[in-house]
Amino acid sequence: MTNSSDIIINRMEHIFNSDIDLNTRKEDVQELLKEFKKTNKQLYKILKIGDKIQRKDYMELRVKYDEIEELNREIENTQKEVVFTMGTMGEFRSHETGLHVRRVALYSKILAKYYGLGPSETDLLFHAAPMHDIGKIAIPDAILNKPGKLTADEFEIMKNHAQLGYEMINDSDRPLLIAAAIVAHEHHEKWDGTGYPRGLKEQEIHIYGRITALADVFDALGSKRVYKSGWSDEKIFAFLKEQSGKQFDPTLINVFFDNLDEILAVRDELQDKDEEEKAHVKSKSV
Ligand SMILES: [Fe+2]
Ligand SMILES: [Fe+2]
């Protein structure tokens, strides 16, 4: 059986052969058109089948992709939960409530957003900030929960928590844990270079460290601890302003005061439970 391409070539030869009469050439042209139409139809059929196969492959890939995305989301959420729980463990040992780390995370998020970090970095810091004191897990209880001032030696041991926290988690190549390691390592560094553990200054301190430092100190100053009662807002604000360019990044202090309403709304929303409970017991006994 002659195939289409043989017929087409044959007809073309006839059409361009000047020895063949016009009528035969006309027939050849018609035959040629017929063959083209037939080939076209076959091509269309093949393309349609190809399309169908491609669509099927695409749909199968799409389902697999959705499954992988779902799994990734789950892994990310699990990571965030584990990181948050680890963070609360550090704070729990020093008799902090889980609310402290939540507040620090939210203050950090506000500061990061208005400082100008993008949404993904802001989210990363929000989830990493609760890990800032993870190293406290390794600090002896007698030092961690000592009422009153620490001796110079005790304070040296206490300071180790920044380096220890970093060493606990710096092996991972996961962005969330990398951010958490930075926060644990640098949240006690000071803008003027007098902080610890490395005495970094200004921009040498990662922005995550600078932000968490301010969020943590602001929350700690207002909270009651084993060794102190909470400061008044007036005293806290005066201290933060006075420490602008010394302990804290001056740009961040401006961001803090420019967005104070939002920060105080978080503090109001997430008050420490024991204070709420105390208020509750008080109202019951009255
Ligand atoms: Fe700390
Ligand atoms: Fe803290």
pLDDT at 280: 39
Q: Cα of 174 to ligand 1 centre, how many Å?
A: 22
DSSP 177-196: HHHHHHHHHHTT--TTS--S
Ligand nearest to the CA of residue 215, numbered in listed order:
2
User: Which of 156, 266, 166, 271 has the alpha carbon at shortest distance from 215?
Assistant: 266
Ligand nearest to the CA of residue 101, numbered in listed order:
2
For the entire predicted model, the pTM comes to 0.73
Report CA 103 to chain centroid distance, whole Å: 17
Which residues, in sequence order, are bridge partners of residue 29?
A: none
End-to-end CA separation in angstroms for the chain: 106
Q: Does residue 118 register a pLDDT over 70?
A: yes
pLDDT at 206: 98
Active-site positions?
136
Q: Cα of 181 to ligand 2 centre, how many Å?
A: 15
Q: Cα of 145 to ligand 2 centre, how many Å?
A: 14
Q: Cα of 156 to ligand 1 centre, how many Å?
A: 13
Q: Which two tokens stand for residue 118?
A: 């993008």
Ligand nearest to the CA of residue 220, numbered in listed order:
2
Residue 274: which residues within 8 A CB-CB, separation 6 or more? 97
As a whole number of angstroms, the distance between CA 29 and CA 54 comes to: 36
As a whole number of angstroms, the distance between CA 129 and CA 78 comes to: 16
Average pLDDT over residues 138-144: 87
Q: Cα of 54 to ligand 2 centre, how many Å?
A: 55
Could you report the per-residue pLDDT of 20-37, keeping only the tens digit for each?
787 887 888 888 888 888
Q: How many CB atoms lie within 10 A of CB 109?
A: 21
Place of tokens 């601890």: 225
As a whole number of angstroms, the distance between CA 125 and CA 127 comes to: 5
As a whole number of angstroms, the distance between CA 283 and CA 206 comes to: 46
Which residues, in sequence order, are bridge partners of residue 248?
A: 244
Ligand nearest to the CA of residue 100, numbered in listed order:
2
83 three-class SS? helix
pLDDT band at 1 (very low <50, low <70, confident <90, very high): low
Q: Cα of 91 to ligand 1 centre, how many Å?
A: 9
Average pLDDT over residues 232-242: 96
